Amino acid sequence: MAVMRLKTRFNAKAGLADLWDYLREPRPYRWPLLALSFAIPLSGLAMLTRESHFRPPDAPKVTFISTLAEGRSDEEIRRSNLENQKRKEAREAELAELREKKVEAYKTLGRATGLDVDKMEREAQIENAREKAAAEARQRELYQAGSGG
């Protein structure tokens, strides 16, 4: 078995001679097509080799808006905190009163339609206690897991 040499299989000289013969033939649009066939890969290479440098964005300019007077004393801060706490407790009391009125209205409606609202209330209290105990257990578990113990 004869080993064929690589040089004899791939002859670049013959390929270039064929290309030159093809280019010398008078064909319509041969020069524009040749230019286009060179332009496409060259433009692709030009786009790939172009470097882009992006500068980091400017840091945001933060403007703090405060409705509180600057230089307040600790006593003024405590006083305003107490006033805010009183307003919060008043809102919570008002919401609790509205919830209570709502529950009473539903109880009245339930009694008028023949439902056993006392039994329903007991079941709801049991369910609320169960949910509260589960939430406390989850809280204890998270606290113990977070404290590493």
Given a cut of 70, the residues of the chain with pLDDT beneath it are: 1-9, 148-149
Residue range 63-93, pLDDT digits in tens: 887 778 888 899 999 999 999 999 999 999 9
Enclosing domain of residue 125: 116-149
**What is the C-alpha to C-alpha distance for residues 100 and 91, in angstroms, rounded to an integer?**
14
Q: Are residues 126 and 104 in the same domain?
A: no
Q: Are residues 133 and 148 in the same domain?
A: yes
- For residue 83, is it within any domain? yes
The model's pTM is: 0.41
Report phi then psi at 30, rounded to 5.
Answer: -70, -40
- For residue 16, is it within any domain? no
Q: How many domains does the chain have?
A: 2
- For residue 122, is it within any domain? yes
Q: Which two three-digit tokens encode residue 51?
A: 């470097």
Helix %, strand %, coil % for the chain, to 5?
A: 70, 0, 30
- For residue 138, is it within any domain? yes
